[in-house]
Chains A and B, each alone.
Chain A
């Protein structure tokens, strides 16, 4: 595999005519074809990508001129199918593209392929994909994490300089940590979700997976901002995220006590403690801080997420798009059979849990209670950020686990998200930055930043990379 240069250099070389966008797309397609054994990719958009590259080569322009990328297959894209790795969307061809894709294309980027995920992004390993399980590039017997596991593996396998993921409970950061990529979960509302298959709308965010924080900053910069097609998008205060000047001296860093306790893998713990020492040596003031409600975020998440999933998946009714059962006798039977045959086990599980917690008589006890505990979590974050510039900790209690190790027990699988979900419930930006190895497996450092401080977080991530 050949490595990609920094994205801004690549775009500059395309604009100066030193390299051709068509060659870059071919390089990307070759890396995809050479690494099929990892099952990172569901489909390529070869025809459309090569056509676009040829167009761009005639008059190269834009901050991402000719740069190939890979989108998780829950982004609507033209030129092929969008399946969300689910049987029910197997035949689906999007009639329009996600705003994020449109914004990247407007700067000259080229979507080359669609990456594997847990179906509808429900999972932490890609084992819930209705297609296949993606293998971890560092160890083929292990998962790449999920749900954006295909995107994360694709970046490490040099299939493209960047990939897009979605993070509802940790789905960008967990795979980034498991494969050794940079994975950004921006502030809630930072990037438009228009044209992305909805999971849990109150926590879904879109972000980049890359090799470096510098590349991630450029991609996030292009994608972010208000969009009239997604009324939850927020204003961006900064002109750009790409200036990443940063100094650790005087910065106050809180190490989240609840994430460093028993149950943490010894190898992961060693990497995180080593990272903390580096931050201290660089001049940061590092202290332990307790946010006692953070571990509750998982239980909150597994009420709020299925509730929103059950609502968002009600649109798959077999009548307008997606799989439709052929031998139904009437409309009601058509709904029931299309959904029964089209949805996988995890989607059904979440629809059922969501329907339960939202049903009359249970709503207050589950959904409302969870949203109230959510307030408690938000308050603890606010208090912590009144004293600290950043909070740090691990992404996950363990490095990448074995394929099949947790599939028999859904609750055990859910527990992978215990250290990532809090930032989704609160909306804070968070990032996974490669921090070292536990044995031969990568471990990411999680940096959580105050609301809307995506730029500062990216600068800190870059500065952490520079500590080596």
Chain B
């Protein structure tokens, strides 16, 4: 399965929260199909008996004390990049109509 349909691309775009233009959908359909065909070459690799590796540092369960810590950040600095705020919180558009 490597040739994507237009509907496949639109479904991926919806999952990715991207509102693609018609031109982008058509372009990505070709490009994604080509990239997926390339990575599918891995299907021919024999990996019998091997486990997947998800991280390479060898570290396990790095804990810290469950305590609050003051890093000296000011709330207004942390919110200064937000498009809209109210009462020290992010303000977003209506969710329910």
Contacts and interface: CB of A to CB of B under 8 A. Distances in A.
Interface of A: 91-93, 95-96, 188-189, 202, 228, 231-232, 234, 293, 296, 299-300, 302-303, 310, 314, 317-322, 324, 328-337, 339-340, 343, 345, 348-349, 351-353, 355-357, 359, 365-366, 368-376, 378-379, 410-411, 414, 425-427, 451
A202 B83 contact: no
Contact of A351 (B18, B19, B53, B58): B18
B55 A343 contact: no
19 contacts: A95-B73, A96-B71, A96-B73, A300-B42, A310-B16, A319-B90, A320-B82, A321-B81, A321-B82, A328-B93, A332-B17, A348-B18, A349-B28, A359-B12, A369-B42, A373-B45, A376-B47, A376-B50, A427-B56
Interface of B: 9, 12-13, 15-20, 24, 28, 31-32, 34-36, 38-39, 41-43, 45, 47, 50-59, 62, 64, 71, 73, 77-78, 80-83, 90, 92-95, 97
A231 B81 contact: no
A319 B45 contact: no
Contacts of B43: 365, 369
A355 B59 contact: no
Q: Point out which of B64, B92, B94 has the most chain A C-beta atoms below 10 A from its C-beta.
A: B92
A335 B17 contact: yes
A349 B31 contact: yes
Contacts, number: 164
Contact of A343 (B9, B18, B51, B80): B18
A110 B62 CA distance: 32
Contacts of A188: 56-57
Given A348-B18, A351-B16, A376-B47, 11 more contacts: A189-B57, A189-B59, A202-B54, A303-B42, A319-B92, A324-B83, A348-B28, A352-B13, A371-B52, A373-B42, A411-B31
B17 A303 contact: no
Query: For the complex, would chain B's binding face be called helix, strand, loop or mixed by DSSP majority?
Result: loop
Contacts of B90: 319-320
Contacts of B92: 319, 331, 334
Give the residue among B16, B54, B77 with the most A Cβ atoms within 10 A.
B16
Given A366-B39, A372-B50, A373-B45, A231 B62 contact: yes
Interchain residue pairs A-B with the least CB separation, the first 5: A427-B56, A321-B81, A371-B52, A324-B83, A231-B62
Contacts of B19: 333, 336-337, 339-340
A310 B57 CA distance: 22
A343 B18 CA distance: 9
A372 B48 CA distance: 9
